[in-house]
């Protein structure tokens, strides 16, 4: 069996959606002739931790962990944040929120020194360890999972040093994306140089949504398009337990994930409030569950809502518990960031929503999400600012639940349109790409 070295920062006990893609690749690759060998960090400063995922690392996986210099502990001290404050929802101010002086200084340091990202402190530990692993394990190929983009820089160095072929995987675009720090011209130029060199040197580039590949081609128009491949995120049927579900007494809409900045429930809550005011929805007969990690401004939004008593906020849950909450719901809420280019964004969790077979109310622009909803017949899509559209979707789901004796599960069978997004199928496609690589 051939061996692939997987360079990834997000790996159990890291939680969140980013870890699932690599974890499922590791789970299913041996079925297609590839033994996964993982290079990851020893004690990462993850936005979320999920210790339960450690039990999901398959026994066949070979995992190496190295030290890493993480700057966020210093960042928290400098900005006066709690020691356990999540990096993404609390430490980096979002939207129009004014930064404090300390935050401004910290942000300048981050954008100037930490290129391509704050995980660059892993590079001096990962590269020598990676070279040793390649020799020790007789590695045949390298695969990197980004973000963080440091993983691509590490894999690039290993590729250069050993001449072993390399697939660079991306779950988000690199420069110019929503989460990219605003840099002044010199560090920005360095970041773009690193990005372009990775795109040019990787033997294959695979991306979790098509918009990432469009972004690559926009940045390097003369790049060989034959090296670009779309491998969507997906869901794993084995993650969905058989539950003895009793019908809910109240219509339950669930959101799972993080919310902060431009990704917030403002318009959704306003739609619910208007429906309650119009007496089309009884607030005593609904439950809005928000499960995950939320920024202070989102918590304020929820607390100040006139339907606050119909809302349940639940902290981040282990992945298996989060899946159960999807299955216990009557509809699922998806919110895509309000930003330029958001029509291309396809969050990984939408596939887990699809796998749960509950109607999805997606607040997203016309684009990739809308196409996916139509393809899989999984729910409703309306723009985030379209209050009337959100109200229409809610009323239909609410009416189906109470007045038409429906369980709000989709009326399609688990057909090919859905089955092709199984994690095992996506892994088969990755294995096929690995098979194409020439040493």
In-domain check, residue 248: yes
Quick check: bond before 365 cis, omega within 30? no
In a domain, 88, yes or no: no
Task: Enumerate the β-bridge partners of residue 2.
Answer: 34
Task: Give, as one character, the DSSP assignment of residue 343.
Answer: G
Same domain for 25 and 132, yes or no, is: yes
Radius of gyration for the alpha carbons in the chain, expressed in angstroms and rounded: 22
Q: How many folded domains does the chain comprise?
A: 2
Contact predicate 226/251, CB 8 Å = no
pLDDT at 158: 98
Residues 382 and 355 in one domain: yes
| CB environment 29-62: b (16+ within 10 A), e (fewer) | bbebebbbbbbbbeebbbbbbbeebeebbeeebb
Helix (H, G, I), strand (E, B) or coil at 261: coil
Residues 195, 171 share a domain: yes
Q: Return the residue matching tokens 């502990």.
A: 73
Token readout for 26 is 């590791």
For residues 314 and 208, state if they share a domain.
Answer: no
Neighbours of 138 (CB within 10 A): 10
182 within a domain of the structure (yes/no): yes
Q: Are strands 251-259 and 286-294 parallel, antiparallel or unpaired?
A: parallel
Residue 96 lies in a domain: no
| Domain annotation covers residue 84 | no
294 CB-near residues (< 8 Å, 6+ apart):
89, 258, 259, 260, 302, 313
Quick one: 286 and 387 in the same domain?
yes
What is the C-alpha separation between 358 and 368, in angstroms, rounded?
19
Query: In terms of domains, do 251 and 191 share one?
Result: no
My answer on whether 154 and 25 are in the same domain is yes
Do the Cβ atoms of 291 and 265 come closer than 8 Å? no
Does 222 share its domain with 255? Answer: no
Say what the pLDDT of residue 13 is. 97
Question: pTM of the prediction?
Answer: 0.91
- My answer on whether 317 and 267 are in the same domain is yes
Provide the edge-to-edge strand list for the sheet that holds 228-230: 62-66, 34-41, 2-7, 141-146, 166-170, 204-207, 228-230
CA atoms within 13 A on the CB side of 82: 5
Question: pLDDT tens, 391-408?
Answer: 999 999 999 888 755 544
pLDDT of residue 181: 82
Does residue 29 lie within any of the structural domains? yes
Cα atoms in the 13 Å half-sphere on the side-chain side of 189 = 2
Each residue's pLDDT expressed in tens, for the chain with a length of 439 residues:
999 999 999 999 999 888 999 999 999 999 999 999 999 999 898 988 999 999 999 999 999 999 999 887 776 666 666 666 665 544 444 445 566 666 677 677 777 778 999 899 999 999 999 999 999 999 999 999 999 999 999 999 999 999 999 999 999 999 988 777 888 889 999 999 999 999 999 999 999 999 999 999 999 999 999 999 999 999 999 999 988 888 899 999 999 999 888 889 999 999 999 999 999 999 999 999 999 999 889 999 999 999 999 999 999 999 999 999 999 999 999 998 776 778 899 999 999 999 999 999 999 999 999 999 999 999 999 998 899 999 999 999 999 888 755 544 444 445 778 889 999 999 999 999 999 997 7
The answer to whether residues 392 and 296 belong to one domain is yes
Host domain of residue 320? 242-416
* Residue 136 domain-assigned (yes or no): yes
Q: Are residues 428 and 339 in the same domain?
A: no
Q: In angstroms, rounded to a whole number, what is the distance separating the alpha carbons of residues 109 and 113?
A: 6
Q: Is residue 207 located within the same domain as residue 263?
A: no
What is the predicted pLDDT for the residue at 404? Answer: 59
DSSP codes, 143-208: EEEESSTHHHHHHHHHHHHH---EEEEESS-STTSTT-----HHHHHHHHHHHHHHHHH-SEEEES
CATH classification at residue 333: 3.40.50.2000
Within a domain: 99: no
């Amino acid at each position: 069996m051939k061996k692939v070295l997987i360079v990834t920062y997000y790996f159990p006990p890291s939680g969140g959606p980013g870890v699932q893609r690599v974890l499922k690749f590791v789970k299913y690759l041996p079925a297609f002739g590839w033994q996964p060998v993982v290079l990851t960090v020893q004690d990462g400063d993850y936005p979320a931790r999920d210790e339960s995922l450690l039990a999901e690392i398959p026994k066949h996986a070979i995992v190496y962990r190295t030290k890493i210099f993480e700057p966020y502990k210093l960042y928290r001290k400098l900005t006066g944040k709690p020691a356990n404050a999540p990096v993404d929802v609390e430490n980096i101010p979002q939207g129009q929120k004014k930064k404090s002086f300390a935050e401004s200084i910290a942000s300048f340091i981050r954008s100037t020194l930490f290129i391509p990202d704050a995980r660059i402190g892993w590079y001096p530990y990962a590269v020598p360890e990676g070279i040793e692993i390649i020799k020790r394990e007789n590695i045949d190929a390298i695969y990197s999972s980004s973000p963080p983009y440091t993983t691509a820089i590490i894999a690039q160095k290993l590729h250069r040093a050993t001449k072993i072929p390399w697939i660079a995987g991306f779950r988000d675009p690199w420069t110019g994306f929503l989460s990219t720090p605003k840099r002044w011209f010199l560090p920005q130029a360095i970041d773009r140089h690193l990005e372009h060199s990775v795109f040019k040197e990787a033997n294959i580039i695979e991306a979790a949504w098509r918009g990432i590949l469009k972004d690559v081609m926009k940045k390097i128009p003369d790049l060989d398009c034959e090296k670009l491949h779309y491998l969507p995120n997906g869901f794993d049927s084995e993650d969905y337990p058989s539950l003895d579900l009793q019908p809910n007494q109240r219509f339950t809409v669930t959101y799972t994930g993080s919310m902060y900045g431009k990704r917030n429930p403002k318009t959704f809550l306003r739609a619910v409030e208007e429906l309650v005011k119009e007496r089309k929805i009884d607030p005593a007969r609904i439950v809005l569950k928000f499960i995950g990690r939320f920024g202070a401004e989102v918590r304020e939004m929820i607390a100040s809502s006139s339907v606050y008593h119909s809302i349940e906020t639940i902290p981040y849950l282990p992945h298996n518990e989060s899946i159960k909450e999807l299955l216990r719901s009557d509809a699922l809420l998806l919110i895509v960031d309000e930003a330029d280019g958001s029509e291309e964004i396809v969050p990984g969790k939408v596939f887990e929503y699809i796998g749960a077979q509950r109607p999805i109310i997606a607040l997203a622009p016309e684009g990739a999400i809308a196409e996916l909803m139509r393809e899989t017949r999984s729910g409703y899509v309306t723009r985030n600012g379209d209050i009337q559209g959100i109200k229409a979707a809610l009323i239909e789901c609410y009416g189906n639940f109470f007045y038409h004796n429906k369980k709000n599960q989709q009326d399609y069978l688990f057909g090919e349109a859905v089955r092709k997004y199984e994690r095992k199928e996506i892994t088969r496609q990755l294995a096929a790409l690995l098979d194409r690589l020439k040493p």
